[in-house]
Structure 1
Amino acid sequence: MRAFDLFTRAAFGLASLILMILACGLIVYAVAGVWTSYNAADLDVGSSLLEAVGYTVIAIAVFDVGKYLLEEEAIRGREMRSAGEARRSLTKFISTIVIAVLLEGVVTVFQAGKQSMPLMLYPTLLLVSGILLMVGLGVYQRLSVSVENEAKDPPEDEDQDAVSKA
């Protein structure tokens, strides 16, 4: 069982490093696209900058997924020490995804708004999805915190309630 644990940790570590390298590649590609459009007279720098923002946002989300895998699966293993720790870890991870989705939605709104109005459906759905993710995260946090608080404060015995009232 120990060998399997080491194998899975190594696999998650390798996968996370590959994701981080790919995220860095996306940023390099975005910068190269801006550089190319800046040096070419016939290319629009503004649209290249918007694309670069989109690629960078996606790269940040991919990098964060890689970081999450490295920290939670490769280094620490699958164990969470407490429900609060699991909630904080998941909250941080989902928050990054929400930010990436919302930023991509905003970037796509600007791109679609310049081309034609029927193209606005996709960015609108992205923004709605990001908002639903945020609401879902809020509901998850609210429910998990209330469960954590109930677990920390065990209900008092009825006998103690009767004694304290007397």
Structure 2
Amino acid sequence: MQSTFNKLLTVIHFIAAFVLILIALITMGWSVYEIFASLFTDDKDGFIPLILQSVGAIIIAAALVDVAQYMIEEEVFSEKELRNPEEARKTITKIMAIISIAVSIEGLVYIFKAGTENLSLLIYPASLIFVSSLSIVALGIYQKLSISVETKTREVIDSDNHN
């Protein structure tokens, strides 16, 4: 029964990853289409904001692809349970890196957008970049602390193997 349930969850994760990739591709395609369509209109004032909006959409699409890739690698092709602290650290690092990159790039896009519209709007993108930087620092602290756990785990395993 548990094996059937695990297979069902694997199929669900695969379908979810496939849908995320499909949504990402549609988002990227639509963004490129809007840029090319705007080249043939008379509204040249709206071109730069459209470019910035498209860049933001493509960044989000790339983050969706990264999440889908993670789901496929971790939930479809590998074991479901994290067996040791090193695997947990690598998984958390990968997820947090995806989030931090997406947030920081989105903050940069909004900085450029705020610069073309209203400088008082810079508080939100600056906050995004600050939070992204803070998450990277927190991730570094987590990695530093988790290395000691991994070392202790290896020492215990090595001492058990030698006895």
**TM interval, short-chain normalised:** 0.7 to 0.9
Structure 2 match to 1:67:
69
2:49 matched to which residue of 1?
47
Match of 1:120 in 2: 122
Secondary structure, in 3 states, of the residue corresponding to 1:42? coil
Q: 2:149 aligns with which of 147, 159, 163?
A: 147
Q: Secondary structure at the match of 2:43?
A: coil
**Aligned residue number for residue 33 of structure 1:** 34
Structure-2 residue corresponding to 1:58: 60
| Alignment deviations for residues 138-164 of structure 1 (CA, whole Å, 9 cap, x no partner) | 11111111211122235xxxxxxxxxx
In structure 1, distance between residues paired with 2:75 and 2:66: 13
User: For residue 2 of structure 1, what is the aligned residue in structure 2?
Assistant: 3
CA distance in 1, matches of 2:39, 2:140: 42
Residue identity matched to 2:39:
Y
CA positional deviation for 1:115: 1.1
Q: Tell me, in whole angstroms, the C-alpha distance in 1 between the residues paired with 2:52 and 2:143.
A: 33
Identity %: 33
- Deviation larger for 58-67 or 85-94: 85-94
Aligned ranges 1:80-91 → 2 under 5 Å: 80-91=82-93
Residues in 2 aligned to 1:12 and 1:107: alpha-carbon distance in whole angstroms:
31
Q: Tell me by how many angstroms 1:98 deviates.
A: 0.7
Q: Which runs of 4+ in 1 moved over 6 A?
A: none
Paired letter, 1:107:
V
Q: What's the TM-score once normalised by structure 1's chain length?
A: 0.85
Mapped partners of 1:15, 1:79: distance in 2: 19
Q: What per-residue deviation string (whole Å, max 9, x for no partner) do you get for residues 74-103 of structure 1?
A: 222412243212312321222121111101
Contact kept in structure 1, 2:85 and 2:149, CA below 8 Å: no
The reply to whether residue 16 of structure 1 matches residue 17 of structure 2 is yes
TM-score, normalization by structure 2: 0.87
Bigger drift between 35-44 and 52-61 goes to 35-44
State which structure, 1 or 2, has the greater radius of gyration over its C-alpha atoms.
1
The unaligned stretches of length 5 or more in structure 2 are 157-163
Name the counterpart of 1:160.
Answer: none
What secondary structure does 1:100 align onto? helix
Structure 1 runs not aligned, ≥5 long: 155-166
Corresponding residue for 2:81? 79
